[in-house]
């Protein structure tokens, strides 16, 4: 089934540990994003990538890093997890910018629930 896949779906992690959330899409979308969702705060952008080889910082990038070695994969790494990073993380993709006839629709993965103790 075409779409966007995240792994793991759920993880409990000790503070100080390193963790990578995986995200893969098979829609050949240029743009990819990582959001965190916390109750009452909506969806906040962590990092994004316009196209393979480029990344940018979103609203809440501290403590997170990303890479975009190819079109399909966009992993999110927590170098040293802290309890405030307990959240639900959503990866998303879109065709690209709205110019050139692209739709603006974001396609989301099913989310990764991360608990940092």
Partner 1 sequence: GENVEQHPSTLSVQEGDSAVIKCTYSDSASNYFPWYKQELGKRPQLIIDIRSNVGEKKDQRIAVTLNKTAKHFSLHITETQPEDSAVYFCAPRESGAGSYQLTFGKGTKLSVIP
For partner 1, the binding residues (CB under 8 A) are 31, 33, 35, 40-45, 48-50, 56, 58-59, 90, 94, 97-99, 104-106, 108-111
CB of 17 to partner 1, least distance (A): 26
Q: How far is the CB of 85 from partner 1 (least distance, A)?
A: 19
Q: Based on CB atoms, which residue is closest to partner 1, 48 or 81? A: 48
Q: Which of left, alpha, beta for 24 (phi over 0: left; psi -120 to 50: alpha)?
A: beta
Q: Is 10 left (phi over 0), alpha (psi -120 to 50) or beta?
A: beta
Q: Which is nearer to partner 1, 40 or 62 (CB)?
A: 40
Alpha carbons 88 and 10: distance in angstroms, whole number: 9
């Amino acid at each position: 089934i075409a779409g966007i896949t995240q792994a793991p779906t759920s993880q409990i992690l000790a503070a100080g540990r390193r963790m990578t959330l995986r995200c893969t899409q098979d829609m050949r979308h240029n743009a990819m994003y990582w959001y965190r969702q916390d109750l009452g705060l909506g969806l906040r952008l962590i990092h994004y990538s316009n196209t393979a080889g480029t990344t940018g910082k979103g609203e809440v990038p501290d403590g997170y890093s990303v890479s975009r070695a190819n079109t399909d994969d966009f992993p999110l790494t927590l170098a040293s997890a802290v309890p405030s990073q307990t959240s639900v993380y959503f990866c998303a993709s879109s065709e690209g910018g709205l110019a050139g006839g692209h739709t603006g629709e974001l396609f989301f993965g099913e989310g990764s629930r991360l608990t940092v103790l």
